[in-house]
Amino acid sequence: RPVTSLPRLREMAARGEKLTMVTCYDATFAQLLEEASVDTLLVGDSLGNVVQGESSTLPVTLAHMAYHTAAVARAKRNAWLITDMPFGSYEASPQLAMASAVTLMQAGAQMIKLEGGGVTAETVRFLTERGIPVCGHLGLTPQRVHALGGFRIQGREEAAAALLRADAAALADAGAAMLVLELVPSVLARQITEAHPQMMTIGIGAGAGTAGQVLVLHDLLGLTRGRRPRFVRDFTREPGSEGDAPGLSVAQALRRYVVDVKAGLFPDETLHGY
């Protein structure tokens, strides 16, 4: 398949082809996700939870992110590689953000992602003007879990929805090429997607109206223990099958995710939306 570039992603989104994104933290899974033709790999700071055993993403450092980015970059071929800027590596100033972004790009990232709305717009502009592709992240922003009061849906009340729309507009205006929308009502995610066609929206718990979808790898493979958020689907299982029915292999499950996102079968608004 052709190498995935920003213009190619834009062209796919403009055609209405849904973009696929999965988190990835190591070389083995990078190879498997390549074989499944996943469009974009995200070295997410969710590695704090699923790899490091932390209960939030706050302890993850820039050095951790660079280490995992380098591992993924060595194995990836055609997918587009995005890395999260970890907590504390970008908030204080555009200059701090630039230095952190350089570290991650030198480790192999092609785009960096940072959380937050209007306050980060100045930083997003600073980076994009200097040739760093930027992905925003709004809605439930896990680095702010203590300020938000937990992992819960955002933008349900009209005032909060209006704030989210304004944040999205500020990020689009600052040059963000992509925007992750996490745990927001489907209607709001669709509005933001339609309002900013130049900023590709990627949803997680944001319904079917976004330009693309992302899931945490370990959730998609049914490996995560504990309470499973409703937006997650275990792709190793046939929908509706019993727990002891034979499951799909990892390679099959990853392909199934890609096929179902591209076909508009995942997410299902009623099963996975808010």
In angstroms, give the least distance from the CB of 181 to ligand KIV: 9
Residue 190: partners with Cβ closer than 8 Å, 6 or more residues away: 207, 209, 210
Binding residues for Mg(2+): 45, 84, 115
The reply to whether 267 sits near ligand KIV by the rule CB under 6 A is no
Q: Write the interaction track for ligand KIV spanning residues 191-220; mark x where CB under 6 A is met and - where it is not.
A: -------------x---------x-x----
Among 39, 45, 167, 260, binds ligand KIV (CB under 6 A): 45
Task: Return the number of the residue (113 or 125) whose C-beta is nearest Na ion.
Answer: 113
Per the annotation, where are the binding residues for 3-methyl-2-oxobutanoate?
Answer: 45-46, 84, 113
CA 19 to chain centre: 11
Unique residue bearing structure tokens 């920003």: 6
Does position 86 bind ligand KIV by CB under 6 A? no
Residues 58-87 that bind Na ion (CB under 5 A): 84
Catalytic residue among 122, 182, 194, 238: 182
Structural tokens at position 67 = 């280490």
**Is 44 a residue that touches ligand KIV (CB under 6 A)?**
yes
- 182 as an active site residue: the answer is yes
Q: State how far the alpha carbon of 66 is from the alpha carbons of 126, 176, 192, in Å.
A: 21, 22, 31
Dihedral of alpha carbons 7, 10, 14, 19, sign: positive
Does residue 155 touch ligand KIV according to CB under 6 A? Answer: no
Among 103, 85, 104, 109, smallest CA distance to 30 is for 109
Residue 182 contacts Na ion per CB under 5 A? no
Give the SS3 label for residue 21: strand
Which residue, 39 or 84, is less far from Na ion as judged by CB? 84
Residue 267 lies near Na ion (rule: CB under 5 A): no
Q: Could you tell me the two tokens for 137? A: 């992240």
Give φ, ψ of 3 to 5 degrees: -65, 135
At residue 92, φ and ψ (nearest 5 deg) are -70, -35
Task: Please choose, out of 1-9, 40-48, 240-248, 256-264, the segment that lies near ligand KIV by the rule CB under 6 A.
Answer: 40-48
Of residues 180, 192, 199, 254, which one binds ligand KIV by CB under 6 A?
A: 180
Asked whether 258 and 36 are in contact (CB, 8 A), the reply is yes
Binding site listing:
45-46, 84, 113, 115
Q: What's the full length of the chain, in residues?
A: 274
CB of 142 to Na ion, least distance (A): 6
Active site residues: 182
